[in-house]
Structure 1
């Protein structure tokens, strides 16, 4: 008769975790006096061995996730903020989300919020556009052991970050591909309105667009710096210089300023913009705006939570099936 297989106990957990049996007993009986790193090792070993007992939480006390957002009322940021708020309601017990709003054009305030938070954080979501100055403050977050998720801006040179967003270079290339297709591969004249020259996401869109545009095409890039009235004024300047523009690509969201000008044109150009919202939907239904590239901010919020929970060792949650954000393309026929 075969001897029954012995169920794993504290000794087996200790061997797998590389700690003493006493340490295993302290962790599993929640007696404290164990570092967070050792506690995690023991709980992971116990879970892998399928120890027959209810395991304690992998973390002591409440965990705090801070999301830093800009005070920007545009639809994209409003959707992202709302998505984070709703995602926060679904977090497991003992984990809370705090949203911190910082004036958009105040990099020093953003840096202070990133590097000198008033709360003890386990994770940080930077849900804001990041310029070069802000980017230099982010390594300090990771040196402090916090989980870092970036939304909207990907920084290739920053190790150990997670990016919950779309590939902005691919976004720009997609816009150029749509124009190339509409022009049947012929060279064309394009006006580009770049919403911001200091933000990496907008620079990436421009780089991708220029690299993909049909050879021989001419283009003019004018920078609005997201100033009120700038898009309408610069579009008028473009059309005065090149009345027969074939296409317009806008990296931001200035539809309300541009639409009245384009309505007056008899032979209007192809128009491609970013971020789906009610105004863009109306313009696509009207036939004035041809395509909108969208980042899906609600999914960006949910995927950020999924990543953080997985890094915390909480694999079963309401976010476990959330897929990574993907670029979405809208036109009048798929609204």
Structure 2
């Protein structure tokens, strides 16, 4: 009948569930699977069940976020942005649980992933490539929404990658390096954190390709893998510069920019072009002081917002426009 108000029975019939299930979802009585709740809410909205027009979802959705140690400034910024974004979307009953792995050991990472999967409705992870990590994530992605953050792990069946184009970042770094070095001829020292981080590998590939194709006067010195450790970065850079007086540039994909900058100053090698990633407070100071030449930065806030939007959209709780992320270049004059 025209004008007839939709009932729980109408929603139940459309969603293919019982009236009792509809009642549990609408009145927040619990004990309903996430996918069933999503289906009920979808049909409740479509049928304009009055009580759902301004409905606050009743079941808490928990997103498990797995990151490297919180002592890393990049991850400190990401944690802060995710917390703020979860607060912004708190009306949709979403919460974030953080899990940190302190060592670059696949066993630690696997253990944290398993703990997060048991307790959460979805996963957002920045982890490195390893057969057992890949196997676990591929298995989990069949039943949980899995999103990769900052560094992708392709072909695991994840929902999406949340982050910038790392290869494009590397190409920009190569362009900046070549232009800053100019007519000088010499070698460039590249420092990655861990090659099994997809983003680090992609940045290096982009960087190498631009130098090779457009700046043949810049050749690459033997690269360094720091394993995301500042002490290791400092020691290896000191050793490399002591052995090689022909280095004209440093591209640091990893941590330890302050330690490198201090060494360059103390050893009278400040004429070396120095480029890195992430506009942390420390890197901003180095950039303003002229110890860094350029910083390529990704926007934590945009990545956090995109991650929450896609997670909520998966469960039918977000229907707005999905955002985008990109990266920015900072020099001394615009930092």
- Residue 191 of structure 1: how far off its partner (Å): 1.5
Farther off after superposition, 167-176 or 220-229: 220-229
Superposition map of 1:163-182 within 5 A: 163-182=161-180
- Gapped runs of 5+ residues in structure 1? none
SS in 2 for 1:160: coil
Q: Which residue is 1:136 aligned to?
A: 135
Question: Is residue 52 of structure 2 the alignment partner of residue 55 of structure 1?
Answer: yes
Task: State the 1:241 CA deviation.
Answer: 4.0
Q: Is the 8 A contact 2:99 2:116 kept in 1?
A: no
Unaligned runs of 5+ in 2: none
Which has more radius of gyration?
1
Structure 2 distance, partners of 1:136, 1:106, is 15
* 1:107, distance to aligned residue in structure 2 (A): 2.4
Separation (CA, whole Å) in 2 of partners of 1:41 and 1:29 = 13
1:83 aligns with 2:86: no
Contact 1:65 1:125 in 2 (8 A): yes
Contact 1:65/1:97, CA 8 A, preserved across alignment: yes
- The structure-2 alpha-carbon separation of the partners of 1:277 and 1:117, relative to structure 1 and needing over 3 Å to count, comes to closer
Q: Deviations over 1:288-308 (max 9, x none)?
A: 211111222233223211111
Q: Mapping of 1:315-330 within 5 angstroms?
A: 315=318, 323-330=323-330
Given that 2:188 and 2:219 are in contact with CA atoms closer than 8 Å, whether structure 1 keeps it comes out as yes
Compared CA separation, residues 322 and 78, structure 1 to 2 (3 A) = farther
Cα contact 1:122–1:147 (8 A) shared by 2: yes
Question: CA contact under 8 A between 2:100 and 2:112: conserved in structure 1?
Answer: no
Deviation at 1:119, TM superposition (A): 4.7
For the 8 Å contact 1:187–1:214, the answer to whether it is kept is no
Taking structure 1 as the reference length, what is the TM-score of the superposition? 0.82
Specify whether residues 45 and 226 from structure 1 end up closer, same or farther in structure 2 by C-alpha distance, changes over 3 A only: closer
2:272 alignment counterpart: 269
Deviation at 1:45, TM superposition (A): 3.3
| Greater mean alpha carbon deviation, residues 89-98 or residues 195-204 | 89-98
Q: Once superposed, what is the RMSD of the aligned Cα atoms?
A: 3.3
Q: In the alignment, which residue of structure 2 is the partner of 1:293? A: 296
Comparing both structures, which one devotes a greater share of its residues to helix? 2
Counterparts of residues 1-335 of structure 1 (less than 5 Å) = 9=6, 17=14, 19=16, 23=17, 25-26=19-20, 28-30=22-24, 37-49=35-47, 51=48, 53-55=50-52, 61-90=59-88, 91-92=90-91, 94-117=93-116, 119-126=118-125, 128-132=126-130, 133-143=132-142, 145-183=143-181, 189-215=187-213, 216=216, 217-220=218-221, 221-263=223-265, 264-265=267-268, 268-315=271-318, 323-335=323-335
Deviates more, 1:239-248 or 1:162-171: 239-248
- Kept in 1, the 8 Å contact 2:230–2:255? The answer is no
Q: Is this contact kept in 1: 2:258–2:286, CA < 8 A?
A: no
Question: d(CA) in 2 for partners of 1:37 and 1:195?
Answer: 39
Partners of 1:171 and 1:188 in 2: how far apart?
Answer: 22
TM-score (norm 2): 0.82
* SS at structure 1 position matched to 2:146: strand
